[in-house]
Structure 1
Amino acid sequence: MRMAQGRAGAGWLVAGAVALTVLVSTGVWNPFPDLWNWINTSGPIADPAARWQERLGGTPQTVTLLPDHIVVEHRDSVEALSRGSGRRVWSTPADWAAVAGPPERTVVVAGKLLVKGYQVIDPATGLVIRRDEKASAVWTFDDQLLEVSCRTPQDCELTSREPASGDEKWSTGLPGMGFVLFADNPELLGSVPLGADRIAPSHEPGKMPQLLGFPIDGKVYVVSPALGEATRDPVEPGRRERIVVAGGRVLHSVATPRDGGCDIQVTARDTVGGKVWSIPKGQHLRTIGGGGCDQRDQPTGTDTVLVSVLPDGREQLIETGLGKPVLTCAAGEHLVAVDAQRALVRSADGKKLTMYEHDADRPTKPKQLWTRKVNPEASAAIRSGVVVLVDRAPDRVIVLDPATGRVRREVRTEAEVLAADAKGLLLGQRRDLGYLAFD
């Protein structure tokens, strides 16, 4: 009896499937588009709702805010959206993409992996302004585009150009690159920004550093953008040494194993090799990662200020030009975010963030701008004209004025902050983007 009922049930399923196939194939009724639209429908990305919310074709690799557009880099394409509406303006195939130039002359630079050259695209129209067929790698800044092209593996040329026009500003030779990249913004020997949970790194073009450090075949070649040439003989670091190029200085960090720990000494030299400053023995730049005193990590901060750790464990912000401390944390406090003028510090209990204006004349008593209570698991970052705070319990994103701490915008959301500037905030959750303007 049960077997008969099973055969009857299966028969009805087969009959239903046949009927549905006939209805779809004849165009009488097709439920699949509505079903697919229902699957792809997303709930609001934030509360209150974003000005607009759009679903992309895939999860973005990077997102960059421009004055009127949003540039989205995917795994195999780059596209521009209208900042006001979220509407797609254009899209083109590309394996990598970056943004260069000042606000009034910003361009998108894109290319293919393992293929020399790049194309420069107008972000407003998607039209190709110019092409290059020789460059192996590019670095993008707010006023220049650097490219490197090689005639042979040991004969390369580093050229600075105005991003939009391609006009050459300067050019200097390099003895190879030591690697094959064919991509944008490969890592140089500088500092990296402090990271923040649920806040993506900034991809807006920044200022050109005072010096650039190129690692080539185990040596470091230092180039001055102001002079347009290599400034000195290459630096060959020792086995226990890491070279950092920041603030117009070449920093030598030497970590030697001793008595179960690491004996650390950091010295800064100028472009001709003369010693400018050093920090007290035992103070370090948080470059040690792993065992054996190996310096695998890049220091954090900016081109002009770096995060260091004193022998007693307190964190200190030092100015790279003269090595002066500009802010010294109390015991248990931690630097959360820094820029050229300010530093955001988390209290020892984790329940408070305080913004300071750092000052070389008052490193232990800097000017306090504002303070705010937060969840101990909150994260924060300084962006162009705003402070972004991702708080917990409840999950929310709060945008603050960096000088006063005034709330510019607050929303409940579990999304990641993809980008922010003085005009608005872009949230992302898998394939969904949501834009919130600071009206």
Structure 2
Amino acid sequence: MASGGTPRGYLAIFAIVTFVVLALTNVFNPWPKVWGWVTASGPIAEGSSQWQVKLSGSPESAVIAGDAVIVEYRTRVESYGLGAGVKLWQSDADWGSVAGRGNDAVVVTGKLLTKGYQVLDPGSGVVRRSDTTATAVWAYADAIVDLSCAKGGECRLSAWDPRGARPLWTVSTGGIGFVLDAANPDLPDTQPLGASQVDDQVAGRPYLPALLGLPDDGRVRIVDTAVGRVVQTVTPKLEERVSVVGGRVLTVTGKAGDGTCYYSVVATDPPDGVVWRRDGLNLRTADNGSSCKQERDPAGGDDVVLGVDPVGREELIAAHDGRRLWYGEKDQDVVAVSDGYAIVRSADQRTFSGRSFSRGGVTWRRGVNDGASAALTPYAAVVANTSPRRILALSPASGQVLVETRTEAKVFACGPDGLIAVDGRDMAYLPYR
């Protein structure tokens, strides 16, 4: 049999070689367009988004800051315009957080294992203030709080207006035995309940509370943020857990006996003394069982805690004065709570009801399916339905629908005029109706 290729085969080889040469010399390179077509995504919220952009990676967080959206990755922070999704700037940073709200918002960035941080303008990325000594920074809706420690272990806590150039106050906290670092390290306060398709930080940073609790090697130093003063140092016993909520220091005691745990809660106003106490109130700070070892903060808002009574009925308590804001029926459960509102799931699991603490009753009801969850923000109540996956943003006060869309995306942020949804490396802005 004769060997050799056919004319058609030679032409194919010649075409491939020519194609590669042209691509390498940038005379003609179709691969970016081909790759863009392969990786192109469809709309993540069809009919509901004002814009959608492809991000350069999977984000850790996305927060609305005035007229910008701040996207945090593991090694950088980016800013996008809220109006059209245009990328405004990027900065190399290992962490980022947003302090302030609206026109007063700023971006706080820093690097791991490096002291100090920068305060940037959300729209331009211009550095407004720099710090070179802080090891930990907390961003709030109305303040920035940082902790700086000298080599000898002596530490000081300072509070700043988000756009201020001088601290509002500085207080010595002594030596902090437990290392606090980077952005918003955990403090003994409350934790969100959590929801599928909704980021835990969707509500944004809270306002600076009246009292802060700084963990310190088994102790908790209580700082009055109005005047910048350490007012108490608490050393919990083995069976106790301390949380600082609603301007009160809550001491939860769980004692084992008869194969169960017996709980009590005491709320104090340091240094004045006891404000209220409740026996039999379980704030779910321990896992089920007889060990009673408390390893979690109570769930709730900044001034509201979620508990359960000895017969298993859930209740919401105002941490400030101990008032019962809501007392559930059997098998009802709270799926989301803030200082002003709560969302309660019915005993048959088919209805969410919104409740207002100020008005003292149900303000809206919404049918849901199995596995539905919810979150509350200052601007919207977000309901995540399943089968099919659907996101609704409702007015917390009335239940009016602000956004309703079928999507697999996760809601990362809610602002005054819309929400940010992310699916993989795609981000979209969904304005309210």
Deviations 1:299-320 (A, max 9, x none): 1111211000111111100011
Output one character per residue of 1:374-418: Cα deviation in whole Å (capped at 9) or x when no partner.
Answer: 112111111122111111232211111111111122111111111
Q: How do residues 285-296 of structure 1 correspond to structure 2 at under 5 angstroms?
A: 285-289=283-287, 292-296=291-295
- 1:392 is aligned, of 378, 381, 386, to 386
Deviation at 1:31, TM superposition (A): 3.0
2:221 aligns with 221
Pair 1:435-2:429 in alignment? yes
Could you tell me how far apart the structure 2 residues matched to 1:249 and 1:181 are?
Answer: 22
Preserved CA contact (<8 Å) 2:66 2:122: no
Name the amino acid aligned to 1:288. Answer: A
User: Which amino acid in structure 2 is aligned with residue 373 of structure 1?
Assistant: G
| Number of equivalences | 430
Aligned twin of 1:230: 230
Say which SS state the counterpart of residue 279 (structure 1) adopts: strand
CA distance in 2, matches of 1:308, 1:71: 35
> In the alignment, what sits opposite 1:261?
260
Tell me the TM-score normalized by structure 1: 0.92
Q: Which residue of 2 aligns with 1:210?
A: 210
1:284 partner amino acid: N
1:138 Cα deviation from its structure 2 partner: 0.8
Q: Which amino acid aligns with 1:208?
A: L
Q: CA deviation at 1:60?
A: 0.8
Deviations along 1:198-230, one digit per CA (max 9) or x if unpaired, are 111226332111211111011110001012101
Matched with 2:66 is: 67
Amino acid at match of 1:128: V
- How far, CA to CA, are the matches of 1:28 and 1:207 in structure 2? 57
Alignment check: 8 A CA contact 1:64 1:203 kept: no
Q: Identity rate of aligned residues, in percent? A: 39
Equivalent residue, structure 2, for 1:331? 330
Q: Distance in 1 between matches of 2:136 and 2:84?
A: 34
- Give, in whole Å, the separation in 2 of the partners of 1:149 and 1:24: 54
Write the deviation string for residues 91-129 of structure 1: whole angstroms up to 9, x where unpaired.
110111111124232111111111101111111211111
CA–CA distance in structure 2, aligned partners of residues 349 and 10 of structure 1: 70
1:412 has 2:406 as partner: yes
**How is 1:19-30 mapped onto 2 (pairs within 5 angstroms)?**
19-27=18-26, 29-30=28-29
Change (3 A) 1:28 1:124: closer
Q: Distance in 1 between matches of 2:9 and 2:309?
A: 74
Which residues of structure 1 form unaligned runs of 5+? Answer: none
The question of whether the paired residues in 1 share the 8 Å contact of 2:203 and 2:377 is answered with no
Name which of structure 1's ranges 56-65 and 383-392 shifts more when overlaid on structure 2.
383-392
Q: Does the 8 A contact of 1:153 with 1:177 survive in 2? A: no
Separation of aligned partners in 2, 1:183 and 1:229: 23
Structure 1: distance between partners of 2:308 and 2:105 = 38
Q: Distance in 2 between matches of 1:184 and 1:203?
A: 17
Secondary structure of 1:316's counterpart equals: strand
Answer yes or no: is the 8 Å Cα contact 1:313–1:331 preserved in 2: yes
Alignment of 1:132-171 (within 5 A): 132-171=131-170
How big is the shift at 1:47?
2.2
- Cα separation, 2, equivalents of 1:191 and 1:10: 71
Alignment correspondent of 1:107? 106
**Alignment RMSD, CA only?**
2.4
Change in CA separation of 1:355 and 1:345 when aligned onto 2, cut-off 3 Å: same
**TM-aligned CA distance change 1:316 to 1:5, over 3 Å:** farther
Q: Give the distance between the partners of 1:226 and 1:49, measured in 2 at CA.
A: 43
Which residue in the other structure is 1:46 paired with? 45
* CA spacing shift, 1:236–1:29, aligned 2, 3 Å: same
Whole-Å Cα distance in 2 between the matches of residues 11 and 295 of structure 1? 76
Q: 1:28 to 1:214 in 2, by over 3 A?
A: closer
Distance 2:415 2:66 in 1: 10
The answer as to whether partners of 1:120 and 1:128 remain within 8 angstroms in 2 is yes
One-letter code of the match for 1:261? Answer: T
Shift in alpha-carbon separation, 1:261–1:290, aligned structure 2, 3 A: closer
Match of residue 368 from structure 2:
374
Note if contact 1:335-1:343 (Cα within 8 Å) is conserved in structure 2: yes
Per the alignment, residue 57 of structure 1 pairs with: 56
Question: Helix, strand or coil for the counterpart of 1:285?
Answer: coil
Flag the 1:358–1:163 CA change in 2: closer, same or farther, 3 A: closer
